[in-house]
Amino acid sequence: MNILITGGAGFIGSHVVRHFINRYPEYRITNLDALTYAGNLENLRDIESKPNYSFVKGDITDSDAMEALFREGNFDGVIHLAAESHVDRSISNPTAFVMTNVIGTVNLLNAARSPWAGAYEGKLFYHISTDEVYGTLEQGTGIFTEETPYDPHSPYSASKASSDHFVRAYYDTYGLPAVISNCSNNYGSYQFPEKLIPLFINNIRHRKPLPVYGKGENVRDWLWVVDHASAIDVIYHNAKHGETYNIGGHNEWKNIDLIRLLCSIMDRKLGRKDGESAELITYVTDRAGHDLRYAIDSGKLQRELGWTPSIQFEEGLEKTVDWYLDNPDWLERVTSRAYNLN
C-alpha cells in the first residue's frame, strides 16, 4: 500500500503519519506539506528516518505540482489533512482559506483522478473534515449526525464545507472512491500554541493572561488526537465508499469549565497554590459569529466500524499537559518560529 498523507507536518497530520508508519511498516507513506507557519518537521523527528517514510515539500494550491506528484507517486490512497485550520485567522484572511481548503482540495481531486483514470479498484481519496460544517446547536439540546444539514458560519467552516461538497461531487460525478470524516476538536501533543489548550498551557507557564471569549459559555466536544488517528485508520481500511463518518469523544465541555480544569492541573504540576492560574483568566470580546455549541454523534462509526476512543478526557488532558511541560524547547521554538525561518 502506497499512501499520500497531506498536511502531515501539522498537528493531526503528524499523529496520522506516525500512526501509519509505526502500525504498517510494510506501507509506503509520503507526507506532502507546504510547511506553512503550522507545519513543523520537528513534529516527526521520531519517525523521519524510518525506511517507509518520505517527505515532499509542496503546495496543494499548485495544480501542476499536484498533477506531477500523482503521475510519479503511483499512490493507492490519499488521506487529505492539509488545510488552513485556525478560525481566528480565517476571519482576518478568508481568501487564504478558500485557496488552500477549497482550491487545494479540488487540485488534489483532479490530480488523483487522472493517473487512476477510472481504474478505481483498491483506490481511496479520504478527506478529513470538521464538525464545524454543521453550524451551531442550542445549549443542552441536539447533536450533529451525518444527516445534519450543513450550516457553516465562519470562513474556516465555510471553506471546509465547500471542500466536503467537492469531494462528494467527485464521488457522484466521476465515481472517484471517496470517504469523508467530520471530527470534533482535537487536543494533544504537537498542537500549534494558537489553539486553546496549548496556548493556555504556555500562557500559564509564563503567567500571561488567559483570554476567554465572551463569558466562556461556548461548548465543544473534545477528542484526543491519538484517538482521531486511530479512527482515521479504521475508516481508511473499512469505510464504505461514498460515506461520511462523524468522529467525536461524546465529551462536551463548556470552555470556562475546561479552562478551570486545565488551570487546576497546571497548579498541581507546577507546584503553585490552588487557584493561582485561574487568576490569569481574562474575559475578552466574543469572536464574531462564534458558534455556541458543537456536539457530535459518532455512533455510526462505533456501530458500523467498531471504533471507540481509548481514554477519558481527564486522563488525556493530564498526558497533554505533561507532554508540553516535558517539551519546553518545542514550545519555545514554535512560539519564536525558530523552526520555520529557513
H-run or E-run covering 55: strand 53-57
Q: List the alpha helices (DSSP H) in the chain.
A: 11-23, 63-73, 87-92, 94-97, 105-116, 155-174, 196-205, 225-238, 255-270, 299-305, 313-326, 328-336
35 lies in the binding site for ligand NAD (CB under 6 A): yes
Per the listing, cell 478529513 goes with 128
Of 7-15, 19-27, 252-260, 295-303, the segment contacting ligand NAD by CB under 6 A is 7-15
Q: Which of residues 198-257 bind ligand NAD (CB under 6 A)?
A: none
Distance separating the N- and C-terminal Cα atoms of the chain: 33
213: annotated active-site residue: no
Residue choice 5, 13, 171, 210 for contact with ligand NAD (CB under 6 A): 13
Site track for ligand NAD across 90-129, x = CB under 6 A: ----------x---x-----------------------xx
CB of 9 to ligand NAD, least distance (A): 4
Residues 6+ apart with CB under 8 A from 4: 30, 32, 69, 70, 73, 75, 77, 78, 79
- CB within 8 Å of 267: residues ≥ 6 apart: 273, 274, 275, 276, 277
* Residue of 3, 83, 124, 196 interacting with ligand NAD (CB under 6 A): 83
In the shown chain, the binding pattern of residues 43 to 72 toward ligand NAD, with x for contact by CB under 6 A and - for none, equals ----------------xxx-----------
In contact, 84 and 159? CB cutoff 8 Å? yes
Establish whether 131 is a catalytic residue.
yes
Query: In this chain, which of 3, 4, 5, 10 binds ligand NAD, going by CB under 6 A?
Result: 10
Q: Which is nearer to ligand NAD, 128 or 143 (CB)?
A: 128
Catalytic residue numbers read 131-132, 156
Which positions touch ligand NAD (CB under 6 A)? 7, 9-13, 33-36, 38-39, 59-61, 81-85, 100, 104, 128-130, 160, 183, 185-186, 192
